[in-house]
Amino acid sequence: MPSPTVRTRKIALIGYERCQSLDLVGPFEVFRMASFYGGVRAYEVMLASPAGGDIVTNSGLRLAGATALKSLPRDLDTILVAGGDESGVRGAANSEIVDWVRARAKTTPRVGSVCSGAFVLAAAGLLDGRRATTHWEACDELRRQRPAVRLEPDAIYVADPPFYTSAGVTAGFDLCLSFVEADCGADIALKVARNLVLFMRRPGGQTQYSAALNVQPAATPAIRKLVGQISSDPTGDLSLPALAERAGMSERTFSRVFHKETGITPAAFVEIARVDRAKALLETSSWPLARVAERAGLNSLDALHRAFHKRVGVTPGEYRERFGHRGRA
């Protein structure tokens, strides 16, 4: 399959006071390296901020030489807004960035965000009625502020063209690698990932974190107890009827309450918990894959492969090769 035609694409990385430095530097390195491996100037990357000049990030790191928003060229291919700490994002969502990105979204093929930068896109009204994600810790607040956004808290990144949102910090690498693959081809994207010591580009639907971490602090004791039990032992009968009975609820009530308090369905939670267990076994044992599947509650080799393809984007063998004892050695 031929690679996409490579041309110089103009990328604007938008920062502001108290933004997250890695949300800017990470994508910058991905695009810069794509040009290096492609043998052409695939990207022209511009750091920008409302007034231009220096950007002081939330860690105190000062990034110099930003271009003022008003001075950016009109023919941008991609706009990517960084996330930041609470005060930084609040300021950005009430700044000229909002009006600027709203206007530019009409003519820019890709408008995206890293981490809590989604709040800026949301403040501009760009995500209403669309699928989006952000850092898992900020999902509840984004849902409260913009209930019209179809939030997907269990995603590394979400593509709802022309808008693209990614989860916490390093998920920006995954989003940008997906851009590189679309622009320059899979070979270049893979070379960039290898150079950055990324295992490979994670698929957008991969979970952001261990399933148990998604439970809300105010969850009912029954749900919290059940989540702990599933995470500790994801084997056995974890069907909807069995789980509802253990929680002392009807199936319909259990499904509704569980989704409200974890953000995902019971079936998805069980599958993620089983994949998490399989990951741990692949990292620490030399058991045959069929035994790993059995001990993780997946019951068959086919089920193990299907679950890994869906949730991790690689085969169990590839995962073990990279993260198992032999891979580390």
pLDDT tens track for 81-116 = 999 999 999 999 999 999 999 999 999 999 999 999
May I ask the CATH architecture of the domain 9-195?
3-Layer(aba) Sandwich (3.40)
- Mean pLDDT is lowest, of 22-31, 70-79, 114-123, 282-291, for 282-291
pLDDT digits (tens, 9 = 90+) for 150-179: 988 867 888 999 999 998 878 899 899 989
Number of neighbours of residue 8 by Cβ within 10 angstroms: 12
State the sign of the Cα–Cα–Cα–Cα dihedral 45, 47, 49, 51: negative
Tell me the CATH class for 211-328: mainly alpha
- The rounded distance, in Å, linking the Cα atoms of 106 and 120 is 16
Those residues whose C-beta lies under 8 Å from the C-beta of residue 235, and which sit 6 or more positions away, are 295, 296, 297
pLDDT of residue 204: 47
pLDDT of residue 205: 47
Is the distance from CB of 87 to CB of 11 less than 8 angstroms? no
Dihedral angle at the C-alpha atoms of 122, 88, 74, 128, nearest 10 degrees? 0
> Which pTM value belongs to this model?
0.67
pLDDT digits (tens, 9 = 90+) for 206-233: 455 555 555 555 577 888 889 888 988 9
Mean pLDDT computed over 234-243: 95
Q: What residue type is 93 in one-letter code?
A: A
Domain ranges of the chain: 9-195, 211-328
